[in-house]
Amino acid sequence: MKTMAFKEAKLHPSRTINIRRMFFVFLINGLCSGFYNVILQPYLVDFIESESVFGLVMTFASLAMILPMLLAAKVSDGIGRKRVYLAGTFLVIPSIILFALASHSKVAEPIFLVVTGLMIVSMSFGFSDPARSSLVAESSELEKRASSFSIVNLAFYVTAMIGPIIIRIFTNRVPLSYYFYGLIGGNLILFLFQLFSLKEPLVIDGYSSNILKQFIQSIKAIWILYYEFVKSLLQFLLMPFVLIYSRTKKDTNQSKYTESVEQDYNLFRDIFKNPGVKYAIGFFIFDAFVWGLSLNIYNGAVKYVYGYNESHIAIMQIVLNISTIVFFIPLTFVSDKLKRNQLLFYSLLIGSLFFIMNIIGHFVSSKYLFYLILVGWAGLGASIAFWVPGILSIVTDFNPNRRAEIYGMVTGIKSLGWLPTGFLAGFIIEKTKEQWGLLIPFLISMILFPFQLVLAWKFPTNHSKEKIKQEIN
């Protein structure tokens, strides 16, 4: 199957128009995510009665996200960021349809529809996230990259407040399943808007500026992505056996399949030769574990332990979004003036408020608990505002010629730290909730937190004047 190819990662002259258009993309995406983030875990709790099983399901969802990040990101280095991003966002639509169908009384085993939908939506994020971040990075100048990430993500959090507000108003009046019908339409609009408005930031062989031809190219590329993902998955699973076989053969003639496997192996190996990648992976795995214990099943856990419903969760999300927006606004002007590791350090320092407030909340009267939790969510929102421009700028700058592939590999491997936290948190909460509530996971996170601060402060970055000169304009 023939794929389009980049010309040495040459940037398209008109690519910068994407930043303005990505602003509107993130507005629509934020609107959809605002509803989704509030209703998903409470909706899952209606079908899953055990905290441990709930945590296990979230663990499998994390795994479903990791594999596409590891294996499909490199495809966008061959067929384009826009096409891979479209392929990922397209998957969201059938997954939400499955969520909506699960609520119908005629469905015999709705849990299978819910879990399948969760796996598909996790895969969609694994496909689209590396391509989307690379698209934003390549559409901006390097010296303005951090502020570009701040601007587009500011749009996301502005509209992300709308869903929680509406859910807060209509709690107990509108069934959770009804919101999925609106999400189907919202994600369809998002897909079409991206299809016709976004430009491919890199010069690609065979690319056409004709809208109809772009549409045909994009549809073809979606299927190329899925095909390449399955092929890459099989190649990575068989890699040890193929390499052993090829190196024990006496003759030097190799099949095309063996050459393809060895090429994938070399690409994977070469990623770790990039300065900072090894440190980044270690840091991210540790970061994912520290935060995953407290956040992975948090919305579901507060429903299990505190009896909070989607109305309470909506308020948490509103506070999170307001705090993120308040801090994002000044950061759009100053984030490029701060070092990337400073952004990470400040993010973690402010984010520790989330751990602290939830720990304090265990020892105070229940009538004050929710207010303390909201203070913690305000700290988490501020943490996101610092984290996004810092971390995305770092990870998308390791190698401009293989930006999406390295981002996908690093982010996918990072998620390995997140992977066991759903099951661990669910197991711990189930065994200790009668006496300790949600306290134990937060205590573990807080004990590990100082080590993460030290690692963030020492984080190596590639942001320099020499790096800027190397960007191809």
CATH number at residue 112: 1.20.1250.20
Contact 390, 413 (CB under 8 A): no
Tens digits of pLDDT across the chain (473 residues): 444 444 445 666 566 778 888 899 999 999 999 999 888 888 888 888 787 888 888 888 877 887 777 666 667 666 777 888 888 888 899 999 999 888 876 766 788 888 899 999 988 888 888 888 888 887 877 777 777 888 888 889 899 999 999 998 888 888 888 899 999 999 999 999 988 888 877 766 666 667 677 677 667 767 777 777 777 677 667 666 666 666 555 455 556 656 666 666 666 666 666 667 778 888 888 988 899 888 888 888 888 888 888 889 899 999 999 999 998 888 777 777 777 788 889 999 999 999 999 999 989 988 899 999 999 999 999 998 888 887 777 776 776 666 766 777 777 777 777 878 888 888 888 888 888 888 888 899 999 999 999 988 888 765 443 343 444 44
SS3 for 243? helix
How far is 274 from 198, CA to CA, in rounded Å? 30
How far is 52 from 427, CA to CA, in rounded Å? 5
CB proximity list for 469: less than 8 A, separation 6 or greater: none
Contact 187, 32 (CB under 8 A): yes
Name the pTM for this structure. Answer: 0.73
Nearest alpha-carbon partner for 47 in 5, 110, 140, 101: 110
* Residue 251 belongs to a domain: no
Structural domain count of the chain: 1
Residue with tokens 């940037």: 11
* Residue 215 belongs to a domain: no
Q: Which domain holds residue 348?
A: 11-207+266-465
* Residue 230 belongs to a domain: no
How far is 81 from 77, CA to CA, in rounded Å? 7
* Residue 336 belongs to a domain: yes
Residue with tokens 């810092």: 390
* Residue 212 belongs to a domain: no
* Residue 219 belongs to a domain: no
Contact 355, 380 (CB under 8 A): no
* Residue 214 belongs to a domain: no
DSSP 8-class letter at 16: T
* Residue 370 belongs to a domain: yes
